[in-house]
Structure 1
């Protein structure tokens, strides 16, 4: 009888200690910040070949080819990827300098010709002469409105999809830290329970120090996730707001220019032409920026696909260091094997001492897999977490007194409370075991990235392609529209700078105008208000 009473609690105690002591190996894992400094790049395989398309000219390195692969922590990756939008940047610069040059030419011309009046001969102009510029202006204005709508719609869709992708990634990191917090909570409870019955033993010190180290790692993951969420959200929001505001102002300006041009408010119209010129520069810049974002989105989706194939050799492990959790994976496997062996040993001890009237549920499958599957236990078996309840029905601690024992087997109070504390704590650890297994196997990240690849990568690349293509279309239309209005304004200014002489028509005497315009003017020959 004594061997049975002592053997069962001691074996369960040993089972708990093995689980607790094995977790101390996790304390040797590097933190996220350490792993970030030693992460391996996904883009380079063992043969040195690139699996992605990140070999690009790097302006920070004299336009030499960047060959470092997809690495969001490398400034050379960012500079080489941002440089892919150079067609938009160059066109924006050309348009800007051409506008500045033309404006300077007009200022010099005005300064040189100031005070010099030149009589110009007004040639007769047919109705078509005035109608065609107006038709071109209306036509390009309609196209500009269409282009603005495409950019605004695509930008809104891109912003929404990008936010969804970022939320999935950051929530995955938060879920990882929550899993660690849940595990350390169980370990702390186990340490507290053990401390009540054994005092400040080696096991309690191990549990306390290990839980503190794991808490620090979870804090680091949570802190980095929160920081990255703020930075990325801020960046995406800035791009979205700037694009929306600029394109909305462009839309307003081109409509106002058409209205004021037709109504012959030419001085205000000239100011709007200058604004349209500036907005055209901005549209070219948007074309380059979103072309860069499309390449970045493509790189990211390619990296996510590579992560699905090999999560242990990928720069995306900055979110979760899967490569450095390999050691924890072996520890977790050892823990499951030890628990399996110890539960079998306890059951053998119970069978030897008391017969097979009751067995403890072994939550792990036989070797070599040792899968966690508590649902496969026989219906008559007792889960480890129910052992305290069964003990209360069968035995009593020797400090309980005869009034509360009700005929149960009297056992040492220390052994009774030790078994009760450990079995409860072990069950809590077993409850979080699936989460820890998923974390160590990087299944959490695989599932999250799989969702992004399946549901969001396609729309993300499609919407950013719509934005840059629409921005390019809008830029071309704006350039044509500005040229139409600029030519019209220059022609009008040339016709009415100084005096003008109208030739005789049908034998009528000519009229000389000192300043101003005649009443026959329409689209180009209108009076400047």
Structure 2
């Protein structure tokens, strides 16, 4: 089986592999203590007596969460003030109505018309805010799902490649060409290195999985809390929440990376909301329930607005931290909580051992070729095998040497048709068994050479750098924009319901006076 067949028929890229790792002391020491997004994250920390937080971006640090959460404090404060002040206002109205009843009088047509117009305007504002809110919510969840799926793919790809390298080392120990094996010392060192590689792969997979589980946990709670307020809204906006509740149930049955929000739902929601509002204007619902539900909803939506303002700030911090880390890559930072770098020493040892094993294997193969070429009457000479790593150290292969990618096809011409005791008895220099052993050696050497650029990337943490560049370019703009519109949508809905609750009291009073006025006139006539 040729090299291409072993790798699923995929044509592998070729090129010189050059390490970009620079072993410095002072620079590495500075990078290991790099504080990401230091200026942006300087916020007051409630857990440290409101002192300024200076730890930079770090989603594992409770002080970071406390400081970024404090940016949402105005929303929480507004929610608390509204809940207390408007609650007291409702109690005063209730006691005045029960303890100090006054005779009904005629209603003001101007007041009735003004409150009605304002309610229409506010309802339209709430509909627009709700449309922006729900569209952004589902797009936000979908973007988070895609981002997490991409990180999982990168981690799984790195883990799988490390295990493939370990498998190639295992195959190298089984190589036997003309009864020659790798030296015992080399085989022992391979066994030790395999353990390090497997431990590194398992550590990368476990740490990435744990980190993403934590991020998913936060995102899921955010989604559930956002869906949960569907039960606490007044009827003129409840249709939005009915549709969202259905959507939330639908989303819960699907992965976050797959959920989507149908664009037609906005149109359906607007039509249903208009119908509900017509019934409200016709006086078919009891206004007091609207006011009480609106009172609760305003507090809840302002709290949610604060939560999504927090998420918006965290998303901005995270994306900026990735950009900053890409400019100053380091082995260990707080970004390890998303996608950790692989141990550079293990990667470097793997690369060095891959080159060493390739040299040892090719030496065994070329020795077998020299032995085969010793017979002067067996036909054309078999070309030697070129070490692909010679180019990186400035060495050149013999002019007639064959590359790894062409070796199996070139050597096939020198295989004899008939052999006895692994020796050719017909034209040709390579017996089928020798050709098979040499092919295995080529496949292993080719695998080491193919994965050597990846090992360089691991040592430099370049695969993490490229991952963060992709996230920053393809995912961050959507996350920041959608979280911003969710926050704006919640603020608009909160303000609309707050104002509408006040106008519903005035409009309900005028509607009641209007009803009794018309009732009195009908009795008169």
Pair 1:84–1:328, CA change in 2 (3 A): same
- Residue 216 of structure 2 is matched in structure 1 by 233
2:421 to 400, 423, 427: 400
- Residue 516 of structure 2 is matched in structure 1 by 517
- Residue 122 of structure 2 is matched in structure 1 by 140
Return the offset for 1:121: 5.8
The 2-side partners of 1:247 and 1:212 are apart by: 53
The 1-side partners of 2:221 and 2:82 are apart by: 24
The 2-side partners of 1:341 and 1:155 are apart by: 58
- Residue 165 of structure 1 is matched in structure 2 by 147
Normalization by structure 1: what TM-score?
0.70
Contact 1:158 1:463 in 2 (8 A): yes
- Residue 76 of structure 2 is matched in structure 1 by 89
- Residue 383 of structure 1 is matched in structure 2 by 404
The 2-side partners of 1:98 and 1:143 are apart by: 24
The 2-side partners of 1:328 and 1:361 are apart by: 24
The 2-side partners of 1:194 and 1:108 are apart by: 97
Check if 1:217 corresponds to 2:200.
yes
1:55 to 37, 42, 46: 42
Contact 1:388 1:423 in 2 (8 A): no
- Residue 178 of structure 1 is matched in structure 2 by 160
Return the offset for 1:120: 2.1
Count matched residues. Answer: 446
- Between structure 1 and structure 2, the one with the greater Rg is 1
Pair 1:379–1:389, CA change in 2 (3 A): closer
The 2-side partners of 1:262 and 1:131 are apart by: 12
- Residue 292 of structure 1 is matched in structure 2 by 310
Contact 2:119 2:500 in 1 (8 A): yes
Return the offset for 1:271: 1.1
Pair 1:248–1:161, CA change in 2 (3 A): farther
Alignment of 1:33-48 (within 5 A): 40-43=32-35
- Residue 475 of structure 1 is matched in structure 2 by 494
Which deviates further from its counterpart, 274-283 or 349-358? 349-358
Q: 1:452-495 deviations in whole A, cap 9, x for unaligned?
A: 222222232122212212222222121111110123345677x6
Normalization by structure 2: what TM-score?
0.70
Return the offset for 1:250: 3.8
The 1-side partners of 2:208 and 2:129 are apart by: 37
Check if 1:303 corresponds to 2:290.
no
Alignment of 1:313-352 (within 5 A): 314-322=333-341, 324-325=343-344, 328-329=347-348, 332=351, 336=355
Return the offset for 1:252: 4.5
Alignment of 1:426-437 (within 5 A): 426-437=445-456
Q: 1:350-377 deviations in whole A, cap 9, x for unaligned?
A: 899979972322313535589xxx9x99
The 2-side partners of 1:205 and 1:73 are apart by: 40
The 2-side partners of 1:209 and 1:382 are apart by: 30
- Residue 257 of structure 2 is matched in structure 1 by none
The 2-side partners of 1:439 and 1:235 are apart by: 29
Contact 2:414 2:430 in 1 (8 A): no
Return the offset for 1:442: 2.4
Structure 1 spans left out of the alignment, 5+ residues:
1-38, 45-49, 497-515, 523-529
Q: Secondary structure at the match of 1:364?
A: helix
Structure 2 spans left out of the alignment, 5+ residues:
1-30, 238-272, 375-379
Alignment of 1:242-261 (within 5 A): 242-244=225-227, 246=229, 250=233, 252-254=235-237, 255=273, 258-261=277-280
Return the offset for 1:425: 2.9
Contact 1:66 1:80 in 2 (8 A): yes
Pair 1:71–1:126, CA change in 2 (3 A): closer
Q: 1:7-48 deviations in whole A, cap 9, x for unaligned?
A: xxxxxxxxxxxxxxxxxxxxxxxxxxxxxxxx945426xxxx
Which deviates further from its counterpart, 101-110 or 160-169? 101-110
Return the offset for 1:235: 3.1
Pair 1:190–1:335, CA change in 2 (3 A): closer
